[in-house]
């Protein structure tokens, strides 16, 4: 194995090399040798020095490289670690005074070691990024391809930024909001939300963290209380990963989402979070800790591979592809390694402490349950206990996507007992019921009730209803409008011959594929179906979530996996907001209705407070049934009773209201009626206890026994639609 300093040609007039410095006059061991904690580069103010620490378990030699802004090829300062002086356990460390660093602004490492058989991992020619870098700099000549083949990538590799002199951010008196029954999660993509020229955001801020600030009044008007940001970890800007699910680094915000207004993506990100908090909106990050952008044996060597693949990734015995792939993206981080778990924990704490994030949604979280050999730990996977017991993290909103490519752990199968979970069964069952599939009424009942079959509240388990994150659509799949407009995915633009994306969408095009030439009656039915979906979502026990743009019928033109579409397919089309004001109004009204009636969203299940009916006194659970009624009694929550009649059949059905008298009920919702009558704040009582529910429609009645302000700013008084 060649010496790394020879490979990278560190010596010469432009580089200063230090291997064994004379620290006999140093006051402490840490000052002379450096400290193994904290990992990363840390500014020591009282010493006017940087501490560098990196975990390279199987490395034979490690070299620190420091660069100035004008010279990004040859390092201005080189420090070769001596394991007898600069190594503790698996961590290499050193302390460098600022006087020695001079004008250096960036840093990296060169690492050598012995590869596993068939694994090209250690490569002393590669300039390696610190996994703990708090900011990543991409040189003007950055080249992804050089990291994918043998040879040096000096001057063209991502570098860590020395950030120790950053001023403290003034958070003022802003406090993180706390939402319970009023939690409405809204999933959005930082760039895609405002990048379209019709977003109304100035072009200098469009598609950035700063651009989101301009949309806060819109979000407050809509009524959402928690925004879930699709991944914002720094990624490889040359990979074509528009969605962000291929992270390069777990500590730094994606620099390409920053505008020029703040000169620092950290500062811009913090301003964004502060503004959301001041508006009463929480921020949840969609985080990807299960894999990295280094991919499999064909992928680039940026960081973790160069520090030792076996130290960071799950490996296999297959010489053709030694990287285990439970993420579907080429590699899987090894959570059987304590330093990998520590890296995740340190990252979570950093985003909580430094960025004031309110929670995390964990992508493919079943990976956390895997042992070092890839087997599933169905008991107590260590990282879940570590997160739960951490005083900084245990109280946050923790949300799991409870599956990976080989495991499905929804509900009590998931080791994070107190975590919230994306409920994929809610998505599928509600989709199938609304489209008209047979045998779906019993499943619909369980989903509306809070999915107690997956989250039981018996004595041994004691789950809560709010742990079910109910959703019909997310970034992964069709938009809500496309769900009612396409039978098949149309992913040709992604470049994979339409082979990517989900095949089982449980969608129905309402009688015509796509928009081109769609008859008026088809377009009308689609609007009604969208309202039906959202109505059921807002009426179900659990924590509701929907994706940005669904409130104004945003379309991806039938593409259900636009992960690489950084264009009008992946961006929201804000012109649709003006075209579909009726749909926006309905969404806004249903959100307000849910928030003003806490009886709908409870910590516990409804139990004896709910009564189930059909078109008559008995719920029809037969395979051919397409209708359901329930009455939720609100007295236990100092609320009114809510009566819901659901008809997914393709003909009119006559429902006989089973509780109270006609004068005790007023109609709030009838999705079959045109706006503004589809949602009304009228207090006009019904005239009869028989209601003719139109095909594929939902009707909601509200009790008038104890009239009170519903908290809804809607003035219309629709005509009553009864038989």
Which positions are annotated as active-site residues? 363, 401
Of 110, 108, 116, the residue nearest 7 (C-alpha) = 110
Do the Cβ atoms of 138 and 255 come closer than 8 Å?
yes
- Describe the crossing of helices 338-353 and 382-389 by its angle, rounded to 10 degrees: 30
**Cα–Cα distances in Å, from 480 out to 84, 211, 226, 468, 534?**
61, 24, 19, 20, 9
Q: Give the residue carrying structure tokens 């359901």.
A: 628
41: phi then psi, degrees, rounded to nearest 5: -100, 130
Of 84, 2, 93, the residue nearest 42 (C-alpha) = 93
DSSP single-letter state for residue 566: T
How distant is the alpha carbon of residue 371 from its chain centre?
24
DSSP single-letter state for residue 253: B
Of 17, 57, 20, the residue nearest 36 (C-alpha) = 57
Omega of the bond leading into 38 within 30 degrees of 0 (cis): yes
Of 290, 320, 293, the residue nearest 304 (C-alpha) = 293
CB atoms near residue 535 (< 10 Å):
25
Cα four-point dihedral sign 569, 573, 579, 581? positive
- How many Å apart are CA 623 and CA 633, to the nearest integer? 28
- How many Å apart are CA 18 and CA 31, to the nearest integer? 16
Phi-psi label, residue 164: left if phi above 0, alpha if psi -120 to 50, beta otherwise:
alpha
Give the strand pairing for 697-703 and 665-670: antiparallel
Question: What residues form DSSP beta bridges with 282?
Answer: 226
End-to-end alpha-carbon separation of the chain, Å?
A: 86
Phi-psi label, residue 638: left if phi above 0, alpha if psi -120 to 50, beta otherwise:
left
- How many Å apart are CA 599 and CA 565, to the nearest integer? 41
How buried is residue 150: exposed, middle or buried, by Cβ count under 10 Å (0-12/13-18/19+)? exposed
345: phi then psi, degrees, rounded to nearest 5: -60, -45
Do the Cβ atoms of 260 and 217 come closer than 8 Å?
no
Scanning 580-690, the segments in alpha helix (DSSP H) are: 581-596
Instruction: Give Dmax (Cα) for the chain.
Output: 95
Helix-strand-coil percent breakdown of the chain, rounded to 5? 25, 20, 55
Task: Dump the DSSP string for 496-509.
Answer: STT-SS-S------
């Amino acid at each position: 194995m060649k010496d790394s300093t020879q490979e990278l040609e560190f010596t010469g007039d432009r580089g200063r090399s230090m291997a064994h410095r004379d620290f006999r006059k140093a006051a402490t061991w840490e000052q002379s040798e450096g400290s193994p904690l904290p990992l990363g580069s840390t500014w020591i103010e009282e010493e006017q020095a940087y501490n560098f620490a990196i975990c390279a378990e199987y490395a034979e030699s490690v070299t620190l490289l420091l660069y100035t802004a004008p010279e990004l090829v040859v390092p201005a300062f080189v420090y070769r670690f001596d394991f007898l002086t600069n190594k503790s356990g698996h961590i290499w460390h050193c302390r460098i005074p600022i006087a020695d660093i001079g004008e250096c602004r960036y840093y990296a490492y060169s690492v050598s070691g012995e590869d596993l058989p068939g694994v090209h991992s250690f490569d002393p020619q590669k300039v390696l990024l610190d996994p703990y870098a708090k900011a990543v700099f991409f040189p003007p000549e950055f080249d992804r391809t050089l990291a994918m083949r043998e040879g040096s990538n000096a001057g063209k590799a991502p570098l860590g930024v020395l950030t120790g002199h950053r001023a403290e951010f003034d958070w003022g008196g802003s406090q993180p909001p706390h939402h319970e029954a009023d939690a409405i999660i809204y999933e959005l993509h930082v760039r895609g939300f405002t990048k379209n020229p019709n977003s109304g955001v100035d072009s200098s801020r469009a598609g950035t963290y700063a651009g989101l600030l301009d949309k806060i009044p819109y979000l407050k008007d809509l009524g959402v209380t928690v925004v879930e940001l699709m991944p914002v970890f720094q990624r490889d800007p040359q990979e074509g990963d528009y969605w962000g699910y291929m992270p390069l680094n777990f500590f730094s915000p994606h620099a390409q989402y920053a505008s020029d207004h703040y000169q620092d993506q950290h500062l811009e990100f913090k301003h964004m979070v502060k503004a959301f908090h001041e508006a009463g909106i929480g921020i949840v990050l969609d985080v990807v800790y299960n894999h990295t952008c280094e991919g499999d044996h064909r992928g680039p060597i940026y960081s973790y591979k160069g520090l030792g693949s076996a130290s960071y990734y799950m490996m296999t015995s297959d010489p053709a592809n030694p990287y285990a792939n439970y993420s579907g993206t080429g590699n899987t981080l090894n959570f059987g390694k304590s330093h990998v778990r520590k890296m995740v924990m340190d990252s979570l704490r950093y985003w909580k402490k430094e960025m004031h994030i309110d929670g995390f949604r964990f992508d493919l979280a079943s990976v956390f349950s895997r042992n070092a050999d890839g087997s599933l730990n169905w008991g107590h996977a260590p990282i879940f206990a570590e997160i739960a017991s951490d005083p900084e993290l245990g109280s946050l909103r923790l949300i799991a996507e409870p599956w990976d490519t080989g495991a499905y752990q929804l509900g009590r199968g998931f080791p994070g007992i107190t975590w919230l979970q994306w409920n994929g069964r809610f998505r599928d069952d509600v989709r199938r019921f609304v489209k008209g599939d047979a045998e779906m009424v019993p499943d619909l009942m369980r989903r509306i009730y809070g999915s107690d079959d997956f989250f039981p509240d018996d004595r041994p388990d004691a789950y809560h209803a709010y742990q079910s994150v109910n959703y019909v659509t997310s970034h992964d799949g069709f938009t809500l409008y496309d769900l009612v407009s396409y039978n098949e995915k149309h992913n040709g633009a992604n470049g994979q011959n339409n082979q990517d994306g989900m095949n089982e969408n449980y969608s129905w095009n309402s009688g015509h594929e796509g928009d081109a030439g769609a008859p008026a009656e088809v377009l009308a039915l689609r609007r009604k179906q969208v309202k039906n979906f959202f109505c059921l979502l807002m009426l179900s026990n659990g924590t509701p979530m929907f994706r940005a743009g669904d409130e104004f019928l945003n379309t991806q033109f039938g593409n259900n996996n636009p992960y690489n579409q950084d264009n009008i397919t992946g961006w929201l089309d804000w012109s649709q907001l003006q075209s579909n004001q009726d749909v926006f109004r309905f969404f806004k009204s249903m959100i307000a209705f849910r928030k003003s009636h806490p009886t709908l969203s409870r910590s516990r299940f409804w139990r004896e407070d709910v009564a189930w009916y059909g078109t008559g006194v008995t719920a029809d659970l037969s395979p051919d049934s397409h209708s359901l009624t329930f009455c939720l009694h609100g007295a236990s929550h100092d609320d009114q009773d809510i009566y819901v009649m659901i008809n997914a059949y393709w003909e009119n059905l006559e429902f006989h209201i089973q509780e109270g008298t006609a004068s005790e009920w007023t109609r709030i919702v009838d999705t079959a009626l045109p706006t503004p009558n589809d949602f009304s704040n009228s207090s006009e009582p019904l005239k009869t206890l028989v209601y003719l529910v139109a095909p594929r429609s939902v009707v909601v009645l509200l009790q008038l026994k104890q009239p009170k302000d519903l908290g809804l700013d809607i003035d219309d008084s629709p005509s009553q639609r009864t038989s």
